[in-house]
Amino acid sequence: MHSAKRIESSPLLSVKDVCVAFGGLNALRDISFDLHRGEILGLIGPNGAGKTTLFNCLSRLYSPKSGEIRLLGENLLAFRRDQIAGRGIGRTFQNIACFGSMTVRQNILTGCHSHMRSSSLAQALRLPSALAEERRFREEIEEVIEWLDLRKDAERLVDDLPFGTRKRVEFARALAMRPKIILLDEPAAGLNHEEVMALGDLIRRTRDERGITVLLVEHHMSLVMSVSDRVVVLNFGEKIAEGAPAQIQKDPEVIRAYLGGHAA
Amino acid sequence: MALTDTIHTQAPPTLKAIIGGLIAVAAIAVPFLLDGFQVFQATQVLVLAIAIMGLNLLTGFSGQFSLGHGAFFAAGAYVTAFFLTDGSFPYVGAVLIGGVVCFILGLAFGFPALKLDGIYLALATFSLAVAMPQILKLSILTEWTGGVGGLVLMKPEAPQGIPLDADQWLYFVVLAFAAVLYCLVTGLISGRTGRAFLAVKDNPLAAEAMGIRVTNVKVLAFGYSAMITGVAGGLSALVTAYVAPDSFTLFLSVNILVGLVVGGVGFIPGAIIGAIFVHFMPTAADSVYQGLQGVIYGIVLIAIMLLAPKGIGGLFRR
């Protein structure tokens, strides 16, 4: 348990007393939790609980009214949206946000954007340095393409692909960002039972094989409970519970939140 | 969305090389097979194709509309003409300066354009095109623009020892510019910046999450696009040896846009097809039935949109 204790002392991502207000409405109140290296953390809550709001704070779409978000001690709120990728946070979107007019391979390569350095002028002039960089990243993403079984669709336009494949493309694109943390916004939405099972497997493999820490925001209860190491529960903008899945499933407050305010 | 769909090059490399070689041979043979006036026309088509290529980079890749590219064309033409009125300045240099000036103008216009999306941006650029001829006629600018009368410049001659007349020589000058710009543009769009352009067009929010600074990318696209169209303007000044405000009306901007759509939005080689259409279609329509050429032009245009929604260039792709 010594090592576990050491991890506890330095969270990869720490959310502290985050408050978000829209007009007079408090969307989030004093939310705090830590995300540790190599962990799969599930973030759940009924509709309108503030999951997406919190998610959008992490990707800098919203700025909290107060509180702080730190990645390895660095203040995340000091960065612009487009700088988040470079800090090591990759993400997927609730309603797939692939680049439809690009091929699968181009989509995944776009994930490498923040790691590439060559200027537009160098690319226009086809300078050897720009071509070499392009080649290097094309080779790098081949592994991701293989890992997500996208080889046969690599040259197809994303718009021509079925829903499930597009989800994999988006996942691959997020992996190509070489993230320390991957944020998954309701990845199970629109998937059938088998696909959800496969997704759970994929999330676990992402952590186990690639060492990426996962923050999973999800409605799908059995998925969250089966893959998460820990679960944070939000309700009406407040954190009502945090703990291991087994613990959460028995928590009276959580049960009340999910079954309606008057039960129990 | 059909208008901004990007067409991808799918032809195998060897086939591409053969087609490219044939086009190169044909392009070089043109001035020796055609008479003087036809060579002049071919040169004008190439100039227009360059202008369309500039707009394609903006609309087909970064997804921003412009109904005012004629204004950048005009700016490039005037800057070039300004440097060549006394005939001592190297003309290639004058065209390049025109391009640089338009790059800066494009960036300058790109910033306010960030606030405008789709149809509103089209309207803002439209007003630029409407304003341009009047700005060029302003009396306080007459010293540089020549006012209503415009500027006359020296038509470049072939260097000593090269047995080409002025029209043939200019054709090759413009062809060289077109070829170099084509290489630069295709280089740009096949790499990191090209993907950033497309990402911004397809989904700005996701683009930002990938680390793409959307505002910079959009402004940069405006700059490069205006630069290419400005170079085309500069070349047009060389070709006609004369610039005047009324050569750069709104109609020019519309022609560039029509050429883009006919050639295929997002398909770079389509520019030449679009340019041929825009240059020859009015005369062709006129020869079919005088007095109804506008109607015929319109019908052909609609037919193209129906039969080839991705432009004629789109037919050569899947």
Across the interface, whether the CB atoms of B209 and A80 are under 8 A apart is answered: no
pLDDT at position B1 over 70: no
Residue B317 in contact with partner chain A when CB distance is under 8 A:
no
* A212 C-beta neighbours (distance < 10 Å), count: 22
Residues of A in contact with B220 (CB under 8 A): 120
Closest chain B residue to the Cα of A103, Cα to Cα = B8
Of B183, B190, B210, the CB nearest to A177: B210
Q: What's residue A52's pLDDT?
A: 87
What are residue A28's DSSP bridge partners?
A20
Indicate the residue of A83, A93, A123 with minimum beta-carbon distance to B206: A93
For the stretch A10-65, pLDDT in tens is 899 999 999 999 888 888 999 999 999 999 999 998 888 889 899 889 988 888 99
- The whole-angstrom distance between A123's CA and the closest CA on chain B is 5
CB neighbours of B317 closer than 8 A, spacing ≥ 6? B7, B8, B9, B10, B264, B267, B310
Yes or no: say if B211 and A114 are a contact pair by the CB < 8 Å rule. yes
Q: What percent of chain A has pLDDT over 90?
A: 77
Count the Cβ atoms, other than its own, within 10 Å of residue A128.
9
Q: Which residues contact B129 (CB under 8 A, 6 or more apart)?
A: B67, B68, B69, B70, B71, B249, B250, B252, B253
Give the ipTM of the model, two decimals please: 0.91
Cβ <8 Å between B210 and A111:
yes
Query: Which residues have C-beta within 8 Å of that of residue B286, sequence separation ≥ 6?
Result: B293
How large is the angle between the packed helices B214-240 and B192-202, nearest 10 degrees?
110
Q: What is the pLDDT of residue B113?
A: 86
Q: Which helix (H) or strand (E) holds B132?
A: helix B118-137
B208 CB neighbours in chain A (<8 A) are 81-82
Interchain pair A177, B188: CB under 8 A: no
In a domain, B293, yes or no: no
Pairwise CA distance, residues B147 & A2, whole Å: 83
The pTM for the full model equals 0.91
**What is the CA angle B263-B265-B266, rounded to 5?**
115
- Restricting to A residues 53-92, those with a Cβ less than 8 Å away from any Cβ of B are 59, 61, 80-86, 91
Statement: residue A8 has pLDDT above 60: no
Contacts of A160 in chain B (CB under 8 A): none
Q: Which residues on B lie below 8 Å from A103 (Cβ)?
A: 8
Nearest Cα residue in chain B from A170 = B206
Q: Across the interface, do A99 and B220 touch by the CB < 8 Å criterion?
A: no
Confidence band for B85, pLDDT divided at 50, 70 and 90: confident
B279 within domain boundaries: no
Is the model's pLDDT at B29 over the cut of 90? yes
- Kindly indicate the confidence band of residue B11, based on its pLDDT and cuts at 50, 70 and 90: low
Q: A113 in contact with B at a CB cutoff of 8 Å?
A: yes
Assess if residue B260 is contained within a domain.
no
pLDDT recorded at residue A9: 60
Q: Is B226 contained in some domain?
A: yes
Q: Which of residues 164-183 of A touch B (CB under 8 A)?
A: 173, 177
**Cβ–Cβ below 8 Å for B208 and A100:** no
* Count of domains forming chain B: 1
In a domain, B191, yes or no: yes
> What pLDDT does residue A261 have?
55
Q: What share of chain B is helix, strand, coil (3-state, %, to 5)?
A: 75, 0, 20
Asked if the Cβ–Cβ distance from B185 to A124 is below 8 Å, we say: yes
Tell me what pLDDT residue B117 has.
Answer: 82
- pLDDT bin (cut points 50, 70, 90) of residue A263 is very low
CB contact under 8 A, A157 and B8: yes
User: What is the C-alpha to C-alpha distance for residues B211 and B226, in angstroms, rounded to an integer?
Assistant: 25
Lookup: tokens for A1:
């348990």
Q: Is A262 left (phi over 0), alpha (psi -120 to 50) or beta?
A: alpha
Q: What's the gap in Å between the CA of B103 and the closest CA on chain A?
A: 13
- Whether B196 and chain A come into contact, CB under 8 Å, resolves to yes
Averaged confidence pLDDT in chain B: 91
State the pLDDT at residue B114.
87
Between CA B194 and CA B200 the distance in angstroms is 10
User: Do A82 and B212 count as a contact with CB atoms less than 8 A apart?
Assistant: yes
Q: Following CA atoms B11, B13, B15, B20 in sequence, which dihedral angle do they give, to the nearest 10 degrees?
A: 100
> Is residue B9 included in any domain, yes or no?
yes
Residues 123-162 of A with CB under 8 A from B: 123-126, 130, 133-134, 155, 157
- Whether residue B211 and residue A86 make contact (CB cut-off 8 A), yes or no, is yes
Facing B191 at nearest CB: one of A123, A157, A177: A123
Instruction: Classify residue B179: in a domain, yes or no.
Output: yes
Which residues of chain A neighbour B228 with C-beta distances below 8 Å? none
Tell me the pLDDT tens digit for each residue of A177-224: 999 999 999 999 888 999 999 999 999 999 999 999 999 999 888 999
pLDDT exceeds cutoff 70 at A140: yes
User: Which pLDDT tens digit goes with each residue over B86-137?
Assistant: 878 999 999 999 999 999 999 999 988 888 888 899 899 999 999 999 999 9
The domain in which residue B68 lies consists of: 3-248
CB-nearest partner of B211 from A85, A103, A134:
A85
Separation CA A42–CA B238 (nearest Å): 66
Q: Work out the percent of chain A whose per-residue pLDDT is above 70.
A: 95
- The predicted-structure confidence for A89-110, as pLDDT tens digits, reads as follows 999 998 889 999 999 999 999 9
Number of cross-chain residue pairs from A and B with Cβ atoms under 8 Å apart: 104
Beta carbons of B206 and A111 less than 8 Å apart: no
CA A181 – CA A40 distance, rounded (Å): 10
Q: What is the pLDDT of residues B129-150, one digit of tens each?
A: 999 999 999 988 888 888 888 9
Mean pLDDT, rounded, for A231-250: 93
Count Cβ neighbours within 10 Å for each residue of B57-78 and write b for 16 or more, e otherwise. Answer: bbbbbbbbbbbbbbbbbbbbbb
Whether residue B265 lies inside any domain: the answer is no
